Amino acid sequence: MASLLRQLSGIEAELKNLDQHVEALAAEPRHRPIVEELTRVDGVGVITAMVYRIEIGYGGRFRRGRQVGKFVGLTPKSHESGQATDRKGHISRQGPPRLRKMLCQAAWVHIQRDAEAQRMFQRLVERNPKKKKIAIVAIMRHLAIRLWHRMREAELSMVPA
């Protein structure tokens, strides 16, 4: 048991060290304005903001929020064939999986802290109580687009006049 406790304390120390490195990176001038803007959203901390910043890169490469949703892989696949109507399937999962994992965790916290997100989640769950996963994916996509808007604002304010 003592050996396991020593291993646990070693892992906790390593995690603390990594968190300090991430916070130091977030404090650099090229990241600070964007991280500060992203962390103003409920449910988004420094690590989530840095993962979003790094995975998205330059937010100006997207013209609209739908493109962000597609990049992250949170839009449904479309199944079309001939005369049949358009059917939507599972999400495409075509983006960075690390970003989707971080958005999922942030979305759960966002639902708890943001009244608008909570109402949106409840409305989606009331439609079909068995589809809570679909509701959380919708919140994740909404959060990704909201973060993109804030990232664009911060990027535009960083551009020298």
CA distances from 131 to 10, 34, 102 (A): 40, 34, 21
Identify each DSSP E strand in the chain by its residue range.
Answer: 76-79, 87-91
Instruction: Report how many helices (DSSP H) and strands (DSSP E) the chain contains, helices first.
Output: 7, 2
What's this model's pTM, rounded to 2 decimal places?
Answer: 0.84
CA neighbor of 66 nearest in space, from 141, 128, 159:
141
- pLDDT tens-digit readout, 44-91: 999 999 999 999 988 889 999 889 988 998 888 776 766 666 667 777
Over residues 19-33, mean pLDDT = 92
- On whether residue 102 sits in a domain, the answer given is yes
Q: Which domain holds residue 154?
A: 18-78+87-158
Count of the separate structural domains present in the chain = 1
User: Using CA atoms, how far apart are residues 159 and 44, in angstroms rounded to an integer?
Assistant: 24
Confidence at 40, pLDDT banded by 50, 70, 90: very high
Judged against a pLDDT cut of 90, whether residue 12 lies above it is answered with yes
- On whether residue 123 sits in a domain, the answer given is yes
Over residues 22-40, mean pLDDT = 93
Query: In this prediction, what percent of the chain has a pLDDT beyond 90?
Result: 63
Helices 65-72 + 132-158 axis angle, to 10: 120
- On whether residue 7 sits in a domain, the answer given is no
- On whether residue 68 sits in a domain, the answer given is yes
Judged against a pLDDT cut of 70, whether residue 122 lies above it is answered with yes
- On whether residue 8 sits in a domain, the answer given is no
